[in-house]
Chains A and B, each alone.
Chain A
Amino acid sequence: MKFKEKYPFAAWFLQRSALYYVMASLIVIFCIDPSIWQYLRLKHLEQLCISTDWKYPYDVINYYEYLTRVGLKSTDHYMGLGRNYLLVNEQNKACEAFAHAKKYATRDSETYQSLAAVCHDVSKSALK
């Protein structure tokens, strides 16, 4: 009996694109060193910000977003993100970033106090 007749579903499945998509994805996953990729991408984004003196907000947003996405979360990163979102009039996203920044600040630190004030101001202006 032919394979196709004996195992029709398996024969059908082996010809489906999804299987090849999965195989390709696995090859990519096994061949790539994600830490090197992250490092290269971070260096590139940081270099962009440096070359524009940290003045181009979208470059800075991309850099801090990538930092936080790869797990390098800190108050400074989220504060930088928040400030630059304010520069491009994205107040909701700025507040969200400041809210994240609060998580990484200690309660009795000056940073926390100033963060609380900043978020309060942003919320107030967002409500207007």
Chain B
Amino acid sequence: MIKMSNLNRFKPFLILLSSFSFWLWLFKDYFSGSIPINWDTNSNFLILKYFFNSVSQGSIPLWDPFTFLGRHFIYILTSCALNPFAWSIFLLNLLGLDYYQAYLIFISAYYFLGVLGFYYLLKIVVHDDKLAVLGMVLLLFSGLGPQVFKQIHMVYIFVPAVWFFVFWVRFFRDYRWLDFLGIILSSMILCISSFPFYFLTFFLVFNVFYALYFFKDWQIKCHNLEGFILKHKVLFVFGVCLVLLSATPLMLFKILDSRGEVISPERQHCETSGENGCSHKVELNYASIAYYGSLGERMPGGMLFSHLDKFSFSTDDFFYIPVLVYFIILISALVRFGRLQILILSVGLTVFLIALGGAAPMHAFLYNKIFYFKYFRNLFFYTAFLIPAAIFFAMIQFKAFLNEKNASFQTLWVVVAAGISLFFFYHCGNVLGVSYLTVVGAAVLFIIALKGFQAFFPKWALFFLCALAILEPGKVFSAYIDHVPGIQCQFPKSNSVLEFAFQRPREGEHEVALPIYYRQVYGSLRYLASFKDMPGVFGVMPNNLPDSLMRYTYELINQQMDPVLTHDTRHKLILYDQVPHDVSHALNIYQIARSGTIPEGNSQELLILKFKPNVLKLRTSFLKDKFLVYNDSYSSEWHVYIDGSEKQLFRANQAFKGVHVPAGEHDVEFRYSPPGGVWIYVLIISFMFLVLAVVLVFNIRSIQKDDHEV
């Protein structure tokens, strides 16, 4: 027998599924391949393709041997590669889908997961299923949706953050160990998804204002938390250790950075100062944060209501909130303003002012006072919090509006608010007709509700509200898709095989997946994803600085290079003769030794045994002692072993790796071993899967138990 309670439980999911189906239909051109993913979603795909393709060939990549003459694979920190949900790409590829298809499914489903989390959060806080469904639909069709295909990092920030708050609110209501574990899982994912500083800022601001407005409640919660920790000491310590484990890659990178070998010339002091070389710190200069990528730059002040059919494919900003949200906030202007509303408004306002960057003083103050504000840019990523916060605020206000008792006064205000809105749209100009329709439709619906047509309202109100909620976004997103210019773009989609190339191609000699593409960014990553070397000797144009590369390589390519070195650098391996064994350094080995052979392929003298991102192993059979230079960027984290025992690795020819190889048959192995190695990542991935499994299984059991009791 079908229980009514089960049907009622599934109704929001039915609405969500149908809304999501409509969302998928609106963006179908991405899935069909007519429109390519753009901006950082593009680069994220290429990075994850490289990562999972390497994993499929038995290696977790910590080094990138293909671009900029070899560099640390910094993107493992920020690409969501360690997220257990991202491993669905790997699984789908094993099942036969190509990486691009698998990636599109992952990012859409992940966004869906975040929207579902928002529904749960609203339901817990507002205690109204219908409003939770409406809020969920409004968020699904907000500006966060298109960001799935343009600026995926916003989704990577938003999804674990919303679930963090779901578990946070549930935990401080019931103090269950399961919700604590959910907080731990969300925190772990936040640490490895993108820079966690956006969430950290939002969380700190939230807690400060919560303590301010709900001081007594905050005190009680702290006391109860203390009790929980004393009761579950092992679980608490285990949880904290897991979060610290997840944060380890970031801390390890800080250690790596402190050695000065990895630099970010695009972002740091290089571009603005006259100094030779760049600062080696991970800190970014103020201007690059406050004036580029801030919300002040990206927020379309005049486009909050007008020109909504002109969002550009060329840019990665899409600050859009459906007009119904603004109208709900307006009609709620005369409802009582509670502490919860003050909290959300205060947090939202503070984060908004921080996100404005140079257009407001708050960020400058925090940049100078709090250390981690120097570590991240792209302040417009705070949109991932601002849009949900605005919708959350609107739903709470809407609930207060529905609970107000003075129906006649409210009816009058709804009419006045509708009039104000319509006049405002007319004054703005270039406002879509559907925006007017949404406001008028919503006003009529609210007046019907206020006039007490109870037979009509409860059953059909949600349906009509959701329809109004998607009316304007449907037009906005359709226009956005229709206006995308004809673009042909090819992505490396299928499995590539790791093969060692003895030479780098010349500029123009070998183009990988040549795109015809607007705002092509991070073009080097196309080579990475294809396991092909970037063409050209340097791979870097002087006025097109990469976002990261090795220091010595950067300094080398900025010098007037010796033609001999220019020639040699194209070849991956060079063998030098008559090198003094007691040479203390090999910085200019090409000048003090005689150039020997340049291997152009496997031979009896030199045979490549193994090539992985972190390892190059070869067998040598030289008649005489040689000095082998591997023209891949030098880093002190690289080690060389001859027949299993470690030898001195020289920094050869300014920027590359060199080692003395004796005559006779030997196995020479270059191995990249940064602090923690691959094991730290294996541990993180394993524990995240474990915690995810526990949270899922026990939550499902808990839901089943509740059903049984009902």
Contact = CB atoms under 8 A, between A and B. Distances in A.
Interface of A: 15-21, 24, 27-28, 31-34, 36-37, 40-41, 43-44, 48, 51-52, 55-56, 58-59, 61-62, 65-66, 69, 88
A62 B353 contact: no
Contacts of B285: none
B485 A31 contact: no
A126 to B, nearest CB: 18
Contacts of A37: 296, 301, 356, 359
Nearest to B346: A24
B291 A40 contact: yes
Interface string B298-327: 111111000100111111000000000000
Contact of B349 (A24, A34, A52): A24
A79 to B, nearest CB: 19
B296 A36 contact: yes
B397 to A, nearest CB: 7
Contact of B315 (A28, A36, A48, A65): A48
A16 B525 CA distance: 54
Nearest to B310: A58
A31 B353 contact: yes
A47 B242 CA distance: 43
Contact of B297 (A40, A58, A69): A40
A20 B397 CA distance: 12
B342 A40 contact: no
A17 B401 CA distance: 11
20 contacts: A16-B334, A16-B335, A17-B334, A17-B337, A17-B400, A21-B333, A31-B362, A36-B296, A37-B296, A40-B296, A40-B357, A40-B359, A41-B299, A44-B297, A52-B518, A55-B485, A56-B314, A58-B483, A66-B302, A88-B483
Contact of A15 (B302, B336, B357): B336
B294 interface: yes
A28 B356 CA distance: 11
Given A33-B359, A65-B307, A15 B337 contact: yes
Contacts of B485: 55-56
Interface of B: 291, 294, 296-303, 307, 310-315, 329, 332-337, 341-342, 345, 349, 352-353, 356-362, 397, 400, 430, 483, 485, 518-519
B88 to A, nearest CB: 34
Greatest chain A CB density within 10 A among B335, B430, B518, B519 is at B518
Contacts of B333: 16-18, 21
A51 to B, nearest CB: 6
A16 B400 CA distance: 11
Contact of B345 (A15, A24, A31, A33): A24
Nearest to B483: A58
A33 B298 contact: no
A18 B341 contact: no
Given A32-B356, A56-B485, A20 B345 contact: yes
Contacts of A52: 314, 518-519
A88 B309 CA distance: 12
Contacts of B342: 20
A36 B342 CA distance: 29
- The winner among B291, B296, B335 for most chain A CB atoms within 10 A is B296
Contacts of B360: 31-33
A41 B291 CA distance: 10
Contacts of A19: 337
Nearest to A25: B349
B349 A62 contact: no
A46 to B, nearest CB: 11
B332 to A, nearest CB: 6
Contact of B336 (A16, A21, A33, A36): A16
A44 B334 CA distance: 38
A19 B353 CA distance: 20
Nearest to B335: A17
A27 to B, nearest CB: 6
A15 B334 CA distance: 9
Nearest to A37: B359
B38 to A, nearest CB: 12
A29 B353 CA distance: 11
A42 B290 CA distance: 15
A73 B692 CA distance: 57
A43 B359 CA distance: 13
Contacts of B356: 32, 37
Given A48-B315, A59-B312, 18 more contacts: A17-B332, A17-B341, A20-B337, A20-B341, A20-B342, A21-B333, A32-B360, A37-B356, A40-B291, A41-B300, A48-B314, A51-B518, A51-B519, A56-B314, A58-B311, A59-B315, A62-B300, A65-B302
B349 A27 contact: yes
Contacts of A44: 297-298, 315
Nearest to A20: B337
Contacts of B336: 15-17
A80 B30 CA distance: 31
Closest 8 pairs between A and B when the two form their complex, measured CB to CB: A37-B359, A18-B333, A40-B297, A17-B337, A44-B297, A40-B296, A36-B359, A58-B310
Contacts of A43: 297
A51 B296 contact: no
A24 B300 CA distance: 19
Listed residue (A17, A24, A56, A59) with the most chain B CB atoms within 10 angstroms of its CB = A17
Nearest to A58: B310
Given A16-B333, A18-B334, A62-B310, A28 B301 contact: no
A3 to B, nearest CB: 16
Contacts of B357: 40
Contacts of B332: 17
Given A17-B397, A36-B358, A56 B349 contact: no
A27 B360 CA distance: 11
A34 B296 CA distance: 9
B312 A48 contact: yes
A5 B360 CA distance: 41
A52 B298 CA distance: 17
Contact of B312 (A34, A36, A40, A56): A56
A58 B312 CA distance: 7
Contacts of A21: 329, 333
A62 B430 CA distance: 12
A31 B361 contact: yes
Contact of A28 (B296, B349, B483, B518): B349
A28 B362 CA distance: 11
A18 B332 CA distance: 8
Contacts of A51: 314, 518-519
A127 to B, nearest CB: 23
A107 B171 CA distance: 73
A41 B334 contact: no
Contacts of B352: 28
Contacts of B430: 65
A70 to B, nearest CB: 9
A33 B352 CA distance: 14
Contacts of B313: 56
Nearest to A31: B360
A51 B519 CA distance: 7
Which among B333, B335, B430 has the highest number of chain A CB atoms within 10 Å? B333
A116 to B, nearest CB: 25
Nearest to B309: A58
A52 B361 CA distance: 33
A15 B335 CA distance: 8
A52 B352 CA distance: 30
B301 A41 contact: yes
